[in-house]
Structure 1
Amino acid sequence: MKFPYNGRLTTAVLTIFWTATSAAPTITLPLSAFTSSVESDKVAIYYPNPSNSTPILLGNDGSPAGGFHTWSFSSDSSPSQMTELNFEYTGRTKLVDFVYNLGGKDVIVTLSQSDSLLRFFDSVSVSELPVMGGRKKIWGDFSSWCFWKSAEGHQYFYLFGKKIVSLFLIREGQNSGIEVLEIQSFPVPIEAKTCIVSYKTSSVYFGGDSGILYTFPALESTTIPENIAELGKAPDEINGLAIYSGNLSNDYLLVALKESLNIYSASNFTLLGSATFSDEVELGDIALYQSAFGTAYPDGILAFAAKMDVGKEFPKYETDPNGSDGDDPAIWIAPGNSTENSRIITTTKSELGAGFGVFDLTGKKLQTMAAEEPNNVDVIYGFPVGNRTADLVFAACRGDNTLCLCEISSSGELISIPGGTQPITVEDFDVYGSCVYRSYISGKQYLFVNSKTSEYLQFELTSTANGTLNTTLVRTFMGGNGGQVEGCVADDENGFLILGEEPYGLWRYDAEPNGTAEGYLIDHVNTGGNLIADVEGVTLIYGETSTDGYIFVSCQGVSAYNVYQRAHPNEYVMTFSITAGSVDGVTNTDGITAVGTSLGSIFPRGLIVVHDDVNEESNGTASSEAAFKLVDLGDVLDADAIKDMGLLGSVNQGWDPRDRLSKTEHLSSD
């Protein structure tokens, strides 16, 4: 995950308490409502004006295609899912907040990490407001900010970075534009993760990883504060701060720690109480709505960014170590009712241990077969070989620049086949990635292979009467945007080739030999895209119809996986990663494969197999041999945090590749 609180923005019914005794009470707060999954670690609540009685939740979005979101609260009930009102794209964004009565408007303020631009939006129309001199660019790596209006009514904000804080004035300028002026900057002891201003004490409070809460006076002045004081120390790192204004002269500081919310006196940092939550969460930034709102929130609202392991899954098994440089896996589905006997086939592309590995569904190594440094591997079902049919394994072999094929026996064992080594005769072409395609139009079997120059070759695979394999070159084209390509997968039913361009994006092409050479860009790694380079393995999960199902893509740079709708326009669904469970998690991931077919009692909801670059042993050391992680598909698509999205319902858990072949033959004969 790319942000520390990549989970959900969460709300709870606010219960504030304090005690005059020495014993500070602890209570448990129920969680009331959740947003959808979002990469957010900054949250704010809008206090409505009299003409709009509904508070609004605001959160940043730190994803590559990020910006900010707003959600509505329900006053009569506490639904598990909040309704999203708006999303505004501003690029990867960390800092967002509300400002009231700025030029007669209530305003949303954001600072984008993608372009360092400060932006202002009308809180009602969410339309961007003009800034004098054009958008204000503020350079730097900033971690937090807090807004403050002086007694004279001037609006300021403190912007914290790496052991520095800057004070800015924002005001209405000429022609209704907003003017932004930097007043001063001065050093602070830490990089603040969070800050807040108390109007009663006219003090700025800030904290971070050290757990120490610092304070200095909030002043309308160009003079640097003389005293940045330590108010006290919390028992853990400080992730969020909020102010609750009491009836007395004192404010109350709410301090979000990793696993609890502590309440202190703002004047002397005396602990008054603490709260935990009914669900296991890790707290991030927090915000308060200090008013009753309907029957759902009779005492107010506490909102916070919550790390809830959304989109993270644990591997169920891992393969036995095999070879020094693995890359891509494939899943062979055993025929009939014996799917529990299915096999995982992997590649080793280095000289040491070069070839294929065969494993059962618990990761036990059953066989190795030498080959000339195969890279990507795929399974071909029911291919006509002479007077019979056979399942085949196909890979591009870098060691001798060939197309490598072997047969899979009925028991899942790899065996040699005549014509299993097919030379590349195209001049100056070095094989790299590969995949397979069975045409629903003609019933013919094709092999795709690419080079690092992004050139693709398409071969038709045939067999002689005596069972010897042959290949014939039928098409060449350039894939992607000129960057290095590797991983690819074909959608046989729709006639598509889907390929990954490592530094740039995910593309879709016609897979037929007479198809157009123009590609459709599904997603990209630049601003506005959801991918992170390198874009590596690509796999397809079939659904009940030709529009159901998903495309999975591995993003090596963040060791995570993106999910897209199979149907055009291939919309982005979510990102997940694989963290340590009964075995270690996945790092620097490369190849990926998946099937939605129920594989018996071991993987009843389908299987995902991914490459793990560094396999950690139980004693904490790293193995010199590669391993692949095995994850239940249902753990990803039917996780509790996203169950309401109904993703697993688009998967055909009875998908049979051999039944698909009979449909192909029927269509090609019409």
Structure 2
Amino acid sequence: MTRIFPLNTKLSLPKHYLLALIACLMTSHAQAAPSLKLQPWAQDLSANAVAFLPGEAATGRLLAGRDGLLLLDDQGRELSRFNGAFDSLDTRVLGANVLVTSLDSDRQQALLVSLDPQKRQWGTPLYLPARDFPVNGLCLYRDEASNLFVFLVGEEGRGEQWLVGHGEQLSEPAQRVRGLPLPPDATTCQVQDDANQLFVNEERVGWWAYPASSEAESVRAPVAMRAPFGDIRQVAGAMAALPGGMLGLDPQAAQLHLYQQQDQAWVAQARVPLTGLKEPESLAVRLTKTGAQLLLRDDDNGRLYQGDIDWQPTPVPLAPRLPNVAAIAQSEPVARQGDSADDPAIWVHPTTPALSRVLGTNKKQGLLAYDLQGKLLQELPVGRLNNVDVRSGFKLGSQTVDLAVASNRDRNSLSLFSVDRASGELREAGEVPTPLKEIYGICLFQPDSGELYAFANGKDGQYLQYRLHAADGSIKGELVRQFSVDSQPEGCVADDLRQRLFLGEEDVGVWTMDARADQPATLGSVIKVGAQLHADVEGIALYQSAGHDYLVISSQGNDSYVVLDAQPPYAVRGTFRVGLNAAARIDGASETDGLEVVSANLGGAWSRGLLVVQDGRKRMPEQAQNFKFVPWADVAKALGLP
């Protein structure tokens, strides 16, 4: 089994991975082969890798070899040369030019260089830093926000993703985004940009598909496996990605494999014999009106071949492209590894907004406080805090303080903190025990009457509503109402002005109800899990300004955020992602648990408010989890909000 599922692969495969593997097993007998006509091409050229020029109107080809990077016409005549010795090759359109990436064999470094195919001129190369592992292959990827990346495929399962540009510009220096565990004998990769899929070979096992997004989880699904578990007879070699499909070479069997994607699975379409070739390598493919055109190299004799095949995969439906909004600041990473950071709250300074603070929970440590640039100001190691909320003007004996309340998973209680209204300093202010067996979420409700209520929920769906009071200087909680939902909740937020509670049921959607303790706990649906909101439903926050009230919801299942009206009929205003900010060296946000938003003018970039989201996968560089700070003005612009 270790040959099929190496140690760096999760053995507990998700359902869609199992379906993909079953598809491989069920389709091991390929269908009748489409016709393929191969003929020698450019026989005098020494090549390690070949590629077609990208772009619908492009007719030239590129070659990487010991004589350099060569621009060729469709007859194989040399048009231009970039001197050196090179291996591996991939391209993308870069404005009017072509971006070429290859591996400098002498320096053992990946490089990027632009090519003007009209003027036949090469630009100045950009080298990635030398790695501490041998690089076998590389490939390019452009994401939905037009960020450009290079994937490096190394020996012993080493892989990396590097940010190298945005739009039509290269970034210097390149920035390492993340490490990626790959198969131990991987040699090559390809990316299908629109589907955000990275394909990597494992020579003695098969071909794999990975999510290519820089914020994606490092998981994989099988495209095809070696016999007896699939239709690959000998070796999974080079591959080429097309919309909805993949072509792969088995060099030892001299066969071309064709695969069609169907939902999350891959179905073998045909095995095509490569007659006359003994060890085909370096596959390049481009679509034509009637099929696809191929370029191959025979490693046995070093010759190049071209041909046409009368087959095209059927494009599959793609996830919608969402607008990306960048964070312009981020908190320092939390002091615990793993799933630690969880939920933020924003305390607004009553007189000097620039001195406001972002509170954040570390569910392995306690409560944290940051300034608006993300600098850590305070740590209160009070236990495993999950969610936190804050309200101003709480009567603590003879004093008026602002109060933060957090759910404490160590003691299944509410942990209370006073906030000094002048300095913003947090102090422990007491604890309210609850009968919940596994306390989870918390949110506060402060109606016009001046009372303060806390809603606490447990993983079993139970909600408890407490009235908080401290007339004698000691904070107490009086249980005034309880209700429940059918499955696990967490995030909730109260609309103090309209006396409404919004609460999330992770696998179901968002509900609303009357927040007043003396009213029936009747649930009404706001939005259900579906095309726009993907489970888990996590953080929920309320933006209120000049009559424009919006709910912001963490759609954890697809690393996005849904914005909808906070009043009936709860129209969806749009969905967005928090993408990476290359200039500020801030990665995007993914797998977000909690979030918070305020409309207060906090000055500067925060003049129209601040959105803070927890980042479940901290990258660029890879560190412990943290919180990302996003100007609300940029969210409003991206979604066309007033």
Superposition TM-score tier, normalisation by shorter sequence: 0.5 to 0.7
Q: Give the drift of 1:456.
A: 0.7
Q: Secondary structure at the match of 1:334?
A: coil
Mapped to 1, the partners of 2:609 and 2:433 lie a distance apart of: 36
Q: Give the drift of 1:331.
A: 0.7
Structure 2 residue 433 is the aligned partner of structure 1 residue 423: yes
Amino acid at match of 2:497: E
Conservation of the 8 A alpha-carbon contact between 2:499 and 2:514: yes
Q: Indicate the residue corresponding to 2:345 in structure 1.
A: 330
Task: Give the 3 Å change call, closer, same or farther, for CA 446–20 of structure 1 in structure 2.
Answer: closer
Q: Give the drift of 1:364.
A: 1.1
Of 607, 611, 617, 2:610 maps to 607
Conservation of the 8 A alpha-carbon contact between 1:195 and 1:207: no
Mapped to 2, the partners of 1:499 and 1:411 lie a distance apart of: 32
Conservation of the 8 A alpha-carbon contact between 2:459 and 2:488: yes
Mapped to 1, the partners of 2:453 and 2:332 lie a distance apart of: 30
Cα RMSD over matched residues? 4.9
Amino acid at match of 1:389: T
Conservation of the 8 A alpha-carbon contact between 2:323 and 2:576: no
1:428-460 Cα shifts (integer Å, max 9, x gaps): 6543211001224x4432111111111111112
1:227-279 Cα shifts (integer Å, max 9, x gaps): 467999999976xx54358xxxxx99699xxxxxxxxx99579xxxxxxxxxx
1:121-164 Cα shifts (integer Å, max 9, x gaps): xxxxxxxxxxxxxxxxxxxx999xxxxxxxxxxxxxxxxx9459
Of 640, 646, 653, 2:640 maps to 646
1:578-631 Cα shifts (integer Å, max 9, x gaps): 44641344344322112233321253343222223454574x5x44xx432222
Mapped to 2, the partners of 1:384 and 1:408 lie a distance apart of: 12
Q: Secondary structure at the match of 2:440?
A: coil
Of 495, 499, 515, 1:495 maps to 499
Greater mean alpha carbon deviation, residues 17-26 or residues 307-316? 17-26
Q: Indicate the residue corresponding to 1:459 in structure 2.
A: 466
Task: Give the 3 Å change call, closer, same or farther, for CA 607–186 of structure 1 in structure 2.
Answer: same
Of 242, 253, 265, 1:194 maps to 242
TM-score under structure 1 length normalisation: 0.51
Amino acid at match of 1:321: V
Name structure 2 gaps, 5 residues minimum: 1-54, 61-72, 81-91, 97-206, 210-221, 259-268, 296-304
Q: Give the drift of 1:563.
A: 2.8
Q: Give the drift of 1:377.
A: 0.7
Amino acid at match of 1:432: Y
Q: Indicate the residue corresponding to 1:551 in structure 2.
A: 551
Of 441, 445, 448, 1:433 maps to 441
Task: Give the 3 Å change call, closer, same or farther, for CA 435–206 of structure 1 in structure 2.
Answer: closer
Of 507, 515, 518, 2:511 maps to 507
Q: Give the drift of 1:308.
A: 7.8
Residues 518-667 of structure 1 correspond to what in structure 2 (within 5 A)? 518-525=522-529, 528-545=530-547, 548-572=548-572, 573-579=574-580, 581=582, 582-616=585-619, 618=621, 620=622, 622-623=623-624, 626-638=625-637, 643=638, 645-647=639-641, 649=642
Mapped to 1, the partners of 2:372 and 2:283 lie a distance apart of: 42
Conservation of the 8 A alpha-carbon contact between 1:328 and 1:592: yes
Conservation of the 8 A alpha-carbon contact between 1:242 and 1:286: no
Mapped to 2, the partners of 1:604 and 1:474 lie a distance apart of: 38
Conservation of the 8 A alpha-carbon contact between 1:607 and 1:631: yes
Mapped to 1, the partners of 2:545 and 2:555 lie a distance apart of: 23
Residues 402-421 of structure 1 correspond to what in structure 2 (within 5 A)? 402-416=413-427, 420-421=430-431
Mapped to 2, the partners of 1:589 and 1:339 lie a distance apart of: 26
Of 474, 477, 498, 1:471 maps to 477
Task: Give the 3 Å change call, closer, same or farther, for CA 228–438 of structure 1 in structure 2.
Answer: farther
Q: Give the drift of 1:507.
A: 2.0
Q: Indicate the residue corresponding to 2:4 in structure 1.
A: none
Task: Give the 3 Å change call, closer, same or farther, for CA 305–411 of structure 1 in structure 2.
Answer: same
Mapped to 2, the partners of 1:422 and 1:27 lie a distance apart of: 60
Of 367, 376, 379, 2:387 maps to 376
Conservation of the 8 A alpha-carbon contact between 1:319 and 1:629: no
Conservation of the 8 A alpha-carbon contact between 1:396 and 1:431: yes
Q: How many residue pairs align between the two structures?
A: 409
Task: Give the 3 Å change call, closer, same or farther, for CA 385–215 of structure 1 in structure 2.
Answer: closer
Structure 2 residue 449 is the aligned partner of structure 1 residue 445: no
Mapped to 1, the partners of 2:342 and 2:618 lie a distance apart of: 13
Conservation of the 8 A alpha-carbon contact between 1:315 and 1:585: no
Q: Indicate the residue corresponding to 1:48 in structure 2.
A: none
Amino acid at match of 2:490: E
Task: Give the 3 Å change call, closer, same or farther, for CA 518–229 of structure 1 in structure 2.
Answer: farther
Q: Secondary structure at the match of 1:433?
A: strand
Task: Give the 3 Å change call, closer, same or farther, for CA 229–564 of structure 1 in structure 2.
Answer: farther
Amino acid at match of 1:550: Y
1:318-358 Cα shifts (integer Å, max 9, x gaps): 2253355332111111123x2111101112232xxx32211
Amino acid at match of 2:453: Y
Name structure 1 gaps, 5 residues minimum: 1-12, 31-140, 144-160, 165-184, 197-204, 217-222, 246-250, 256-264, 270-284, 288-303, 650-670
Q: Give the drift of 1:394.
A: 1.1
Q: Give the drift of 1:484.
A: 1.3
Mapped to 2, the partners of 1:476 and 1:562 lie a distance apart of: 28
Task: Give the 3 Å change call, closer, same or farther, for CA 213–536 of structure 1 in structure 2.
Answer: farther
Amino acid at match of 2:431: T
Conservation of the 8 A alpha-carbon contact between 2:208 and 2:224: no
Conservation of the 8 A alpha-carbon contact between 1:555 and 1:561: yes
Conservation of the 8 A alpha-carbon contact between 1:508 and 1:522: yes
Conservation of the 8 A alpha-carbon contact between 1:244 and 1:253: no
Residues 22-33 of structure 1 correspond to what in structure 2 (within 5 A)? 22=77
Q: Indicate the residue corresponding to 1:347 in structure 2.
A: 361
Task: Give the 3 Å change call, closer, same or farther, for CA 521–237 of structure 1 in structure 2.
Answer: farther
Q: Indicate the residue corresponding to 2:334 in structure 1.
A: 321
Task: Give the 3 Å change call, closer, same or farther, for CA 163–332 of structure 1 in structure 2.
Answer: same
